[in-house]
């Protein structure tokens, strides 16, 4: 037996009706009836007598109801005590984030931390990937959100999501109705980061596989710089949608997805592999995962 079956049994017993209990629990009546039958089969005894006017408990049903109510009350107490224990955890956690991802995630993350774990203080830092990597490896930051972090034994990496790349165009150029392919980039004036930026390497590899040569008119390291240069008409950029969402909404640039195998970027949660156990950091990690997942479900990353 499980708590769900016991909870369903309690509702039916209290209301004296399967249909009324199904409505209160917001589940289908046949599904609720199956739960009750499963509980009876497991116990090997009838718990209810069904009739035209509803259900009545058998002697066994009366015993089960009393015990089930005690079990559920204990389960709620366990949950409350664990939640209180988490709320009482204290500590200090330093989290490093890239600018765009930080702007999306950190307000929600900090609000959750303040509500659920008020005794944990947070120090948030913002930087580019190389800086984030340095902060984590030197221990200055406990956690970092990074795009495509290097594969190093000292780092524990967890991919939270994969972001597609978008071709970002000046405002006078309408977005395409269909996604761009790498071969369509032939002849476009491109603004890309310098080597060894992972986006540059991925695009050059994809272009070589497509049999084209990229026309790179400017090298620009930095999301905001690339976005502003595209808006000014210097060329096309390749960025994630989250980095240009607001600029697209303002009509400063347009963005269309770029389709190609292995042409995306991974947003990862990174920390030192051998870092000492820390309850405050573990709780912060859990909230970061939840908030990134919630934003992804809302389409924040395209």
**pLDDT tens sequence for the chain (302 residues):** 788 888 888 988 888 888 888 888 888 988 888 988 898 888 899 988 888 778 889 999 899 888 888 888 888 878 766 766 666 788 999 999 998 899 999 999 999 999 989 999 999 999 988 899 999 999 999 999 999 898 899 999 999 999 889 999 999 887 788 899 999 999 999 999 988 888 888 899 999 999 999 999 999 988 889 999 999 999 999 998 888 988 998 999 999 999 877 788 899 999 999 888 889 999 999 999 999 999 988 888 76
What is the rounded CA–CA span in Å between residue 57 and residue 168?
67
Dihedral of CA atoms 116, 293, 240, 302 in degrees, nearest 10, equals -120
DSSP characters for 197-240?
Answer: -HHHHHHHHHHHHHT---EEEEE--SHHHHHHHHHTTS-EEEEE
What is the rounded CA–CA span in Å between residue 73 and residue 192?
60
Which pLDDT score is estimated for 85? 63
Domain spanning 162-265, CATH class = alpha beta
Q: How many CA atoms lie within 13 A of 206 on its CB side?
A: 21
What is the rounded CA–CA span in Å between residue 137 and residue 123?
17
Q: Where in the chain is the domain with CATH 3.40.190.10?
A: 91-160+267-297, 162-265
Which pLDDT score is estimated for 4? 85
Domain spanning 91-160+267-297, CATH class = alpha beta
Q: Where in the chain is the domain with CATH 1.10.10.10?
A: 3-87
Give the 3-state secondary structure of residue 251: coil
Which pLDDT score is estimated for 80? 67
CA-based torsion, 76, 28, 64, 55: positive or negative: positive
CA distances (Å), origin 139, targets 93, 133, 203: 11, 10, 32
Give the phi and the psi of residue 223 in degrees, each rounded to 5.
-65, -50
What is the rounded CA–CA span in Å between residue 229 and residue 12?
65
What is the rounded CA–CA span in Å between residue 69 and residue 152?
52
The CATH number that domain 3-87 falls under is 1.10.10.10
Give the 3-state secondary structure of residue 168: strand
Which pLDDT score is estimated for 168? 95
Q: What is the pTM of this model?
A: 0.62
């Amino acid at each position: 037996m499980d708590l769900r079956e016991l909870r369903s049994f309690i509702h039916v017993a209290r209301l004296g009706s399967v249909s009324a209990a199904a409505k209160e629990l917001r589940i289908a009546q046949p599904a609720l009836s199956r739960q009750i039958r499963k509980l009876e089969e497991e116990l090997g005894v009838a718990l209810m007598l069904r009739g035209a006017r509803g259900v009545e408990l058998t002697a066994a049903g009366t015993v089960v109801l009393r015990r089930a109510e005690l079990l559920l009350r204990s389960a709620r107490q366990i949950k409350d005590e664990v939640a209180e224990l988490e709320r009482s955890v204290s500590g200090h956690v330093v989290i490093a984030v890239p600018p765009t991802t930080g702007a999306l995630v950190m307000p929600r993350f900090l609000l959750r931390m303040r509500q659920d774990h008020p005794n944990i203080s947070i120090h948030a830092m913002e930087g580019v990937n190389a800086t984030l990597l340095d902060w984590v490896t030197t221990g200055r930051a406990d956690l970092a959100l990074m795009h495509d972090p290097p594969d190093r034994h000292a780092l524990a990496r967890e991919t939270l999501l994969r972001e597609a790349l978008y071709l970002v165009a000046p405002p006078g150029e309408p977005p395409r109705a269909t996604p761009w392919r790498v071969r369509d980039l032939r002849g476009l004036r491109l603004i890309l980061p310098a080597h060894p930026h992972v986006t540059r390497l991925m695009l050059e590899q994809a272009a070589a596989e497509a049999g084209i040569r990229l026309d790179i008119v400017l090298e620009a390291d930095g999301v905001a710089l690339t976005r502003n240069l595209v808006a000014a008409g210097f060329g096309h950029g390749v960025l994630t949608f989250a980095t240009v969402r607001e600029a697209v909404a303002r009509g400063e640039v347009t963005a269309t997805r770029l389709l190609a195998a292995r042409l995306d970027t991974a947003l990862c949660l990174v920390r030192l592999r051998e870092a000492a156990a820390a309850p405050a950091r573990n709780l912060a990690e859990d909230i970061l995962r939840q908030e990134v997942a919630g934003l992804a479900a809302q389409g924040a990353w395209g």
